[in-house]
Structure 1
Amino acid sequence: MNQSDILFDYKHIWHPYSSIIKPLPCYSVISAKGVHLKLQNGKKIVDGMSSWWSTIHGYNHPILNKSLIKQIRKMSHVMFGGITHPAAIALCRKLVKLTPEKLDCVFLSDSGSIAIEVAIKMLIQYWESLGQTRTKFLTIRNGYHGDTFSAMSISDPENSIHKIYNHFLPKNFFAKAPVSSFYDSWDPTDSISFKKIIEKHSFKIAGVILEPIVQGVGGMKFYHPKFLKEIKKLCKYYCIPLVFDEIATGFGRTGKLFAFQHANVIPDILCLGKAMTGGMITLAATLTTRKIADTISKSKANCFMHGPTYMGNPLACAVANANIKILEKNIWQQQISNIEKQLRIELLPLIKHPRVIDVRVLGAIGVVECFHYVNMKLIQKFFVKKGVWIRPFRKIIYIVPPYIINNDALKKLTNAIKDALNKDELFKNT
């Protein structure tokens, strides 16, 4: 890329969560391999974000690359309406096998947000098929489920990046988020708020939607598994379907293949995405029970009313199959364990730092929560100078590295965080 390209990008290309008038600086990546991104100036930096949780096996993985090349020689895409193909069938077989037995119907889509939209539409149509109009959903505060409109409507309406759309979004029910953290003792009062809402509004609620254990962009909180058990009991008692958003946590990130396995509970609908293709191509899936699928199919429409153009894309399905084959070797379990141990050793002591409120580690997730907001422009520049790619948000500095990262590369990430905490200019209102 020459200077003209960079200037064009600056003036005309709108990047995520950035201003078109005063955009945040963008760093030009010309190639990537393993855990490293190579910048235009030739510098290699360690990726601590797995390209937003997705590139779990690192970049340019030979097995994943090979699967794409093999598939593209056959066909890169074909519509899924009235047509099927081997890659999609193989993937859905794997997903049904990997997930709890009762989740045996799979709807493929383009991205995580759409997987959530699909789940919401499924439940609205499910209740319509039963002769009831239910359009409200129940979730907890500090949640984040995506950037499309229905997904935004079940994300925290106050403590979220979507607050400016509140006047337009449907109004749903929000219980207090549990205070008991993953490693603390369970406080039974944590489920009281949720219980009161579901008792009062059970006949309006189409479904309960939660990020199991890990709340992502809502604050990177890790809550107690007992909370999921309590919610499952309430959903079962009131016959309300339970949806788990495993888009960020699915496929091993928390130390279990799926985060809900920490609580040993099973949802009625499961949303997957991000790491499903190893970060190669966008793909998502919404899995549900035969009961819900059959009920929807008996509705006035006689079908489920959704159909993305790129649903079941053969390239995405092929690479997802290859990605899952890597996971089936079970090397990821040891990889996650090693990452977690090192994060505990190198990050947990930062709780004593005067700039830090809390430090949290679970699986291959490390979180440092600060008292003050970061200065995104300056802290991003600082991290790149240190040879790492870490993208904080608000008061949160977190890393979700590829599973293949070695000790030295991971230490480079944690050291960069330690160094950043000692730089006053990287934080606002210090």
Structure 2
Amino acid sequence: MISDDSIMAGGMDLPRTMRENAGMSCTVSPATVSSTEANRPAADLPHLWLPYTQMQTAPFPVEAVRTSGSRITLADGRELVDGVAAWWTACHGYSHPHIQQALIQQASMMPHVMFGGMVHEPARRLAARLAELLPGDLERTFFTDSGSVAMEVAVKMAVQYHINRGTEGRTKMLSFRGGYHGDTLGMMSICDPEEGMHSLFAGVLPKQVLADLPVDDASIARLEALLEKEGHTIAAIVTEPLVQGAGGMLFHSPEVLRRLRELCDRFGLLLILDEIFTGFGRTGTMFACEQANIVPDIVALSKALTGGTMALAATVARKSVFEAFLSTEGGKALMHGPTFMANPLACAVANASLDLFEQEPRLEQVARISDQLRRELEPCRTIPGVKDVRVLGAIGVVELEKIENPDVLRRAFVTHGTWIRPFRNIVYLTPAFTITPEDLSHLTSSIVTVLRDNA
């Protein structure tokens, strides 16, 4: 249960986290960036190697020292409103007291234990709750420690499913342009060729099957023809439901998922849904696949699984998939086992996160955020260079014709007291579901102002 202290809403002497989770606003002052900081390259940072960063040309990173609610406090005292919720994970905001309490309690009992030949209550409880939440008979959970590895496990499950059932030759995945499923080597092969760096790693990546999402009659016909020709070599179709996130926040309708489910059934393929970004309320329902009223054969979950507090992921399979691995032959078992799988701390935190979904109005908050994003990002349509404005759940996207230098925009957003990270040709928001209307307005007004100033 959530303690009274974690939901009380009285008095401005409460910590900011509690005020924000209770819907009480906090002010934020614009930040300034020193010329020294702006002119230093990231390579001047000793010892560390940053992700997705050309260290020689990228600006020196800011340093965070504290988080609370939707705020990040920097080492120099500046405070930023976070518009991306720590890469789409911190759905309850930072440092939620109920999650902190669960972490402290579990750490005092059992911070870690191996998960081979031994189980523990936090994992058993979490797996049972996921089975209850997910649609259909998605009931068997394999825990890992990152979204990319959860997808690796999903692919291994799909290939071995066919092998165990005696179906020869089904070793490839069919995935889609614009898709992203992780940075590990296997997952790069099923990402969009640009996102997955197929040219750079040519000759190393396994050969897969790539197609366009079936969004219209022409693409449906092409996909059907491809499956008629190569379907006997394909183990599963893999996609992100409703939103291709890292591919550019590209939205598609639930009908696309229904078509894919029908094609998988017709051609004897498994359907793998990558709900690492979309799972746990981001699109307006607990899981994006609910909007299509379909059940995938395997689903991968991570990011908001622990409310953005700890690394944890889950690959959840239907009963029929799990049963294909049951045998007196040891070689038919699923041979995978990360050292830190089902870490008790992470499982306890994930259970606390699910408590919050049950006891606080998260999906109603997502609906409110969605309405506010639509209203407040609409003025961007009149800005020169803006190509599209779109919103789905708690995802708001401003697509531009092009962004010449994302770092210029990123620095401008920091100057406005916000943490917004443009990439490709988009500026987007994926805020915490607990963000106050005032803080969300600060984010949206910053986008309008910065884009106008740089048009």
Q: For this structure pair, what is the TM-score category when the shorter chain's length is used for normalisation?
A: over 0.9
Instruction: Please give the residue correspondences for 1:271-286 in structure 2 after superposition, counting only pairs within 5 Å.
Output: 271-286=300-315
Equivalent residue number for residue 321 of structure 2:
292
Are 1:377 and 2:413 matched, yes or no? no
Q: Deviations over 1:213-267 (max 9, x none)?
A: 1001112111011111111111111111000000000000000101111111110
With 262-271 and 193-202 compared, the bigger mean Cα shift is at 193-202
1:168 correspondence with 2:198: no
Residues 52-100 of structure 1 deviation map (CA, whole Å, 9 limit, x = unaligned) = 0100001110000000000000111111011111110110011111012
Runs of 4+ with >4 A deviation: 6-9, 159-163
- Is 1:261 the counterpart of 2:290? The answer is yes
Task: Tell me, yes or no, if the aligned pair for 2:301 and 2:313 is still in contact at 8 Å.
Answer: yes
2:259 corresponds in structure 1 to 230
| Number of aligned residues | 414
Query: Partner letter of residue 39 of structure 1?
Result: L
Q: For 1:127-149, what per-residue CA distance to the aligned partner results, in whole angstroms no more than 9, with x for missing partners?
A: 11122232111121110011011
Report what 1:80 is aligned to: 115
More deviation, 332-341/161-170: 161-170
Q: 1:205–1:240: 8 Å Cα contact kept in structure 2?
A: yes
Partner of 1:183: none
Query: What is the aligned partner in structure 2 of residue 423 from structure 1?
Result: 453
| 1:409 match: secondary structure | helix
Instruction: For 1:225 and 1:73, locate their aligned partners in 2 and report how far apart those are by CA, in whole Å.
Output: 44
Alpha-carbon distance in structure 1 between the residues aligned to 2:202 and 2:95: 41
Does structure 1 retain, via aligned residues, the 8 Å contact 2:377–2:389?
yes
Q: How does 1:147-162 map to 2 (within 5 A)?
A: 147-158=183-194
Query: What secondary structure does 1:83 align onto?
Result: coil
1:314-338 per-position Cα deviation (integer Å, ceiling 9, x unaligned): 0000000000011112501110011
Distance 1:350 1:246 in 2: 29
Deviation for aligned residue 1:399: 0.8
| Alpha-carbon separation, structure 2, partners of 1:170 and 1:290 | 29
Q: Look up the match of 1:345.
A: 375
Q: Distance in 2 between matches of 1:156 and 1:336?
A: 29
TM-score with structure 2 length normalisation?
Answer: 0.87
**1:69 maps to 2:104:** yes
Q: What SS class does the counterpart of residue 267 from structure 1 fall into?
A: coil
Secondary structure of the corresponding residue to residue 422 of structure 1: helix
Relative to structure 2, which stretch is displaced further, 158-167 or 304-313? 158-167
- 1:7-406 equivalent positions in 2, closer than 5 A: 10-131=45-166, 132-158=168-194, 163-179=199-215, 187-298=216-327, 301-329=331-359, 331-406=361-436
Change (3 A) 1:368 1:168: same
User: Contact 2:276–2:300 at 8 Å: present in 1 too?
Assistant: yes
> Does the 8 A contact of 2:84 with 2:429 survive in 1?
yes
Residues 1:265 and 1:78: Cα distance change in structure 2 (over 3 Å): same
- How far is 1:199 from its partner? 1.7
Q: Is the 8 A contact 2:238 2:273 kept in 1?
A: yes
Deviation at residue 379 of structure 1 after TM alignment: 1.5
Q: 1:157 to 1:74 in 2, by over 3 A?
A: same
Q: What corresponds to 2:16 in structure 1?
A: none
- Provide the TM-score with structure 1 as the length reference: 0.92
**Gap runs ≥5 in structure 1:** 180-186
Q: Distance in 2 between matches of 1:371 and 1:11?
A: 36
Contact 1:140 1:177 in 2 (8 A): yes
Change (3 A) 1:177 1:238: closer
The structural deviation recorded for 1:45 is: 0.6
Give the CA RMSD over aligned residues: 1.8
1:182 corresponds to which residue? none
Change (3 A) 1:205 1:70: same
Q: How far has the Cα of 1:302 moved from its partner?
A: 3.5
Give identity over the alignment, percent. 43
Measured in 1, the distance between the counterparts of 2:42 and 2:153 equals: 39
Unaligned runs of 5+ in 2: 1-35
Q: Is the 8 A contact 1:173 1:197 kept in 2?
A: no
CA contact (8 A) 1:374 1:392 kept: no
